[in-house]
A and B are shown apart, each in its own frame.
Chain A
């Protein structure tokens, strides 16, 4: 069947899975990645291990990148961005801008997999002093240290004795404007807490939370494990501010189940930052004429039973471009979009035969 390729935008877990799936169905696929490396945020942000199964990120993502690199039906364009689109699928003209300059290509269908960006904890308020105190870091900074196998206090390079996580930073917060739950931060905090306890067994680890959102098997496979095996302490209550006292950072919060406010000194505070739509996601929405939903992600139009259709037929959006998503969500929606994009092209081909 002769057809224009399926354009997959973004080479993260969702984009890789969409490209692999479309190619395995026998459709030509054009995979466009802005960065110089495939693997998306897990690779670019140096994730140590994936949540929830704790598989080494490089090993896991290499399986995905190998699958597209080894498939002759996938045409991969690195360091390339989509800058414009005109016409309609299945004969849409897309402008690409890459190392060899601008280029126009015809595509038959589009899968947007441009993902999310981590919330910047200094974006709205400075209550947590992220840019002020070296020992206040994020989940992402922690991944980097865990990957390097060296979890230390950034201010001194010493091994920490007391570490805490603060959940829901940049999520579930009307003041900040992000009312959604970012879905994965509870699980990632548990995963990192387990890793820290393994790496630094003498270090006490606390998690300040509103409610632990550990759905499905995440419940006993990482949350209970953190609590029961790694002896991580979970304290229901969110820290209101972080101050500096001597050479420690002091967190001030209420232990709501004990019903009293406390100030506790920590060596390292880890902010569990949430997800926001990435700049690329917002740009692709504009280029392809896709309305954003009320939270600022790309709007899907199929309700609960069709998670990837957008208001433009033949253009699909997957993974964290349509809302907070864990890896399971991302690759599952990517598979669904590959199938729907292939179906879209096949229907057109049959209609014109």
Chain B
């Protein structure tokens, strides 16, 4: 709603910019099955784990979007959109709304537009993004250092000291790894990278963390070249 006393937050941001981002969310192909109408019953908030720990309410997302309250939308986009754990407990909504789905779309819009809030929220994940996008795996055994996990007790020291041996006791050969969660072939890594690139995911990364993007591109394009791939061939297939 266009209140006479607008909220103090983000008043410096032009209305047109807020409206543009709002329209981008609503133009998403998933939108029409994400929000019907909200009666503000609060069942989504009651079910929401994040709502117990943060000043966060999935109901407010449904409500603000249904009312087309563009100023409040912009506030949410820059703040509590990052407090959701994306567990989708909120989909028990009697109107079949999907507040978590609204947030999915809003996060993508925030990332695609390089909003500061997206950069801040994802900063801590740079290393994980790099690992996932270059290898397809996330948590590696050697990340489990005793210093980081004192609550695991003294045994974790023994395991860490002989990590390589312990890993070789796991039956599948592909798990005889310490730096990766499992053995990933070069072919898989390259195909995965090409999927990220051709589906626009790399562009999203570029918007929020240019450093990681540059390292990733350099390492992976070199690997592509070594293996005799030309990314342009794939791009022309997509076109």
Same complex for A and B? Answer yes
CB proximity to A under 8 Å, residues B1-31? 1-5
Known contacts A233-B68, A258-B60; decide if A264 and B3 are in contact (CB<8 Å).
yes
In the complex, residue of chain B having the shortest beta-carbon distance to the beta carbon of A219? B39
Residues of chain B contacted by A245 (CB below 8 angstroms): 4
Residues of chain A contacted by B166 (CB below 8 angstroms): none
B234 at the interface (CB under 8 A from A): no
A133 at the interface (CB under 8 A from B): no
Residues of chain B contacted by A228 (CB below 8 angstroms): 36-37
Q: Is the CB of A257 within 8 A of B5?
A: no
B173 at the interface (CB under 8 A from A): no
Q: Is the CB of A212 within 8 A of B1?
A: no
Known contacts A227-B66, A233-B68, A258-B60; decide if A206 and B1 are in contact (CB<8 Å).
yes
A270 at the interface (CB under 8 A from B): no
> Which residue of B4, B36, B72 is within 8 Å of A264 (Cβ)?
B4
In the complex, residue of chain B having the shortest beta-carbon distance to the beta carbon of A224? B37
Q: Is the CB of A258 within 8 A of B39?
A: no
Would you give the shortest CB distance from A214 to chain B, in whole angstroms? 10
B40 at the interface (CB under 8 A from A): yes
Q: Is the CB of A263 within 8 A of B5?
A: yes
CB proximity to B under 8 Å, residues A207-263? 212, 224, 227-228, 231, 233-236, 245, 250, 255, 257-258, 262-263
A185 at the interface (CB under 8 A from B): no
Q: How far is the CA of A308 from the CA of B40 in the complex (A)?
A: 38
In the complex, residue of chain B having the shortest beta-carbon distance to the beta carbon of A259? B60
Residues of chain B contacted by A264 (CB below 8 angstroms): 1-4
Q: Is the CB of B4 within 8 A of A235?
A: no
Q: How far is the CA of A264 from the CA of B5 in the complex (A)?
A: 8
B59 at the interface (CB under 8 A from A): yes
> Which residue of B1, B37, B59 is within 8 Å of A227 (Cβ)?
B37
A265 at the interface (CB under 8 A from B): yes
B92 at the interface (CB under 8 A from A): no
> Which residue of B3, B37, B67 is within 8 Å of A263 (Cβ)?
B3
Would you give the shortest CB distance from A263 to chain B, in whole angstroms? 5
What secondary structure prevails in chain A residues at the interface with B? strand
Q: How far is the CA of A233 from the CA of B37 in the complex (A)?
A: 9
B80 at the interface (CB under 8 A from A): no
> Which residue of A233, A234, A265 is within 8 Å of B4 (Cβ)?
A265
Q: Is the CB of A231 within 8 A of B3?
A: no
Q: Is the CB of B40 within 8 A of A263?
A: no
Q: How far is the CA of A258 from the CA of B63 in the complex (A)?
A: 9
> Which residue of A212, A235, A250 is within 8 Å of B67 (Cβ)?
A235
Residues of chain A contacted by B4 (CB below 8 angstroms): 245, 250, 262-265
Q: How far is the CA of A258 from the CA of B60 in the complex (A)?
A: 7
Residues of chain A contacted by B1 (CB below 8 angstroms): 206, 233, 235, 255, 262, 264
Q: How far is the CA of A236 from the CA of B233 in the complex (A)?
A: 57
Residues of chain B contacted by A262 (CB below 8 angstroms): 1, 3-5
| Mask of A160-200 contacts with B, CB within 8 angstroms, 1/0 | 00100000000000000000000000000000000000000
Q: How far is the CA of A235 from the CA of B67 in the complex (A)?
A: 9
In the complex, residue of chain B having the shortest beta-carbon distance to the beta carbon of A252? B4
Q: How far is the CA of A245 from the CA of B2 in the complex (A)?
A: 15
Q: Is the CB of B66 within 8 A of A233?
A: yes
Q: How far is the CA of A263 from the CA of B2 in the complex (A)?
A: 9
Q: How far is the CA of A235 from the CA of B63 in the complex (A)?
A: 9
CB proximity to B under 8 Å, residues A263-297? 263-265
Residues of chain A contacted by B39 (CB below 8 angstroms): 212, 234
| Mask of B119-140 contacts with A, CB within 8 angstroms, 1/0 | 0000000000000000000000
In the complex, residue of chain A having the shortest beta-carbon distance to the beta carbon of B67? A233
Q: How far is the CA of A330 from the CA of B146 in the complex (A)?
A: 77
Q: How far is the CA of A251 from the CA of B52 in the complex (A)?
A: 34
Q: How far is the CA of A264 from the CA of B67 in the complex (A)?
A: 14
In the complex, residue of chain B having the shortest beta-carbon distance to the beta carbon of A206? B1
Would you give the shortest CB distance from A248 to chain B, in whole angstroms? 10
Q: How far is the CA of A250 from the CA of B40 in the complex (A)?
A: 25
| Mask of A22-43 contacts with B, CB within 8 angstroms, 1/0 | 0000000000000000000000
Q: How far is the CA of A159 from the CA of B36 in the complex (A)?
A: 28
Would you give the shortest CB distance from A222 to chain B, in whole angstroms? 12
Q: Is the CB of B3 within 8 A of A236?
A: no
CB proximity to A under 8 Å, residues B57-101? 59-60, 63, 66-68, 72, 95
Would you give the shortest CB distance from B137 to chain A, in whole angstroms? 43
Q: How far is the CA of A245 from the CA of B3 in the complex (A)?
A: 14
> Top 8 nearest A-B pairs by Cβ distance?
A227-B37, A233-B67, A262-B3, A257-B40, A263-B4, A228-B37, A228-B36, A264-B3
Q: Could you show 17 A-B contacts with beta carbons less than 8 Å apart?
A: A212-B39, A224-B36, A227-B37, A228-B37, A233-B67, A235-B67, A236-B40, A257-B60, A257-B63, A262-B3, A262-B4, A262-B5, A263-B3, A263-B5, A264-B2, A264-B3, A265-B4
Question: Measuring CB to CB, which residues of chain B are less than 8 angstroms from any residue of chain A?
Answer: 1-5, 36-37, 39-40, 59-60, 63, 66-68, 72, 95
What 19 new A-B contacts, CB under 8 Å, besides A257-B63, A262-B3?
A206-B1, A227-B36, A227-B66, A231-B68, A233-B1, A233-B67, A233-B68, A235-B67, A255-B1, A257-B59, A262-B1, A262-B4, A262-B5, A263-B3, A263-B5, A264-B2, A264-B3, A264-B4, A265-B4
